[in-house]
Structure 1
């Protein structure tokens, strides 16, 4: 059967759909902050996402070695802390800016793994973008606490990547479902302490379930599909659009207007991420086996 000429666009649209779904879900989540706070909202998102993935993948079907359990636990704890810190940042700084700052985490990990001259160009773009966002000198005023929360989320994202690679040999459903369960152990207790019985209100639970589906279940499913069909570098370039997409949806759904300098900072962050992914060192193909 002849393959449709539009087939190559499917994984690309999947990544764009993932980024868009995440942006819409997070924008909607901010409407829950006045009711249950950032802590309670994060607890519902992570808790429902973990429950959904546990039911979907049933990780108890796989044997988990002790070393793998430790890797998954570290991966999950940093994932949970990253989500909590990011939602805390969203209380006081715009969504698009928080995402741009958070992106410095994976960028740092990528840059530390390479010493080629071109990488210093992307480092310069990322640093310039970050300096334009930080409340220094003539930069537009941002809440310092919000910026620190976003930087904390960036550090956790970097560690999440490092720990995630150590569990990379496991089935994705195995590691992600158990990792999100570990993340829930961090986030849910904080949310319960902060919001208490408010989390059990039917309308709050329904809204939290919607946030979990749109912000986690749909994006993760689309990304897993795209990763199977796209080269890693292409996937990295497409996912780098996230700060710009987040800023655009925050403008449309939340009315978060950014200054020209802040849009420039986001553009520099996107450029650094795209450049890093596009010029990533490709592993040479394995040498053919010698003839007997």
Structure 2
């Protein structure tokens, strides 16, 4: 599967899972959602890859750093979604990958596509609704952690050729989130209906996207990966429309088009210089 398709598939899974989590908030709250999502994902990934702890300290340290960033990102993002509209929270979260795309650029065209993506994000967030300050702070924290994860995940993908590194990272992240989830939701985390829905969320939002994204990071520089994830606000808007009945204003649909064009432009290979004629 082409790397851009892996990134896109991961983005769709993340946003579908985010839509499903709206049904879990009244029962377990944001921290409970994060704990269930990461713990279930850790169980699935560990069963699939069976990672060991005999790796070198450098690899284990990178996996722990990736897991820490994932846990803090999740906690920040779902606390933001609890206070902000889904599109606004996702837009702020995108600032992390956008910064990676901007600072890692090497060509003027890269800056053009990054700028177009940024303009699309601004249009998407132009809803005219006052935004909660704490929600914006949590979303900004999530964006910083997501940008950091792109860099650390790239190193992890280079050291571990399969999903064992991801399984270790998610397991560590689940352990970090567990005290917060228990403190907020307690025994409600074990409700059968909650566990069933949380399993669907974990598969859609963690197992599939992180597997796809780690494989894509093996093939793409973080800059291109960051610009490709600019599709996330647009996909979130479409998922919100189809699954949650959230309608968009005309400027927001313009933002959807802008980020889509930016993603297409960022993944186009540079033009080849024609070979000089040999006269034959």
TM-score range, shorter chain: 0.7 to 0.9
Deviations 1:231-275 (A, max 9, x none): 999988875533222211112222223333333344434444443
Q: Distance in 1 between matches of 2:91 and 2:232?
A: 8
Unaligned runs of 5+ in 2: 273-280
1:198 to 184, 188, 206: 188
Deviation, 1:205, is: 1.7
Match of 1:263 in 2: 253
Work out whether residues 77 and 182 of structure 1, in 8 Å CA contact, stay in contact via their aligned partners in 2.
Answer: yes
Q: Distance in 2 between matches of 1:171 and 1:11?
A: 16
SS in 1 for 2:246: coil
Deviates more, 1:138-147 or 1:29-38: 138-147
Match of 1:119 in 2: 110
Match of 2:55 in 1: 64
TM-score by length of 1: 0.77
TM-score by length of 2: 0.80
Over aligned residue pairs, what C-alpha RMSD do you find?
Answer: 3.5
Deviates more, 1:209-218 or 1:33-42: 209-218
Q: 1:277 to 1:236 in 2, by over 3 A?
A: farther
Q: 1:114 to 1:53 in 2, by over 3 A?
A: same
Q: How many corresponding residue pairs?
A: 271
Q: Distance in 2 between matches of 1:91 and 1:219?
A: 22
Q: 1:193 to 1:79 in 2, by over 3 A?
A: same
Q: 1:226 to 1:91 in 2, by over 3 A?
A: same
2:22 maps to 1:30: yes
2:12 maps to 1:40: no
SS in 2 for 1:247: helix
Unaligned runs of 5+ in 1: 1-8, 283-292
Work out whether residues 94 and 256 of structure 1, in 8 Å CA contact, stay in contact via their aligned partners in 2.
Answer: no
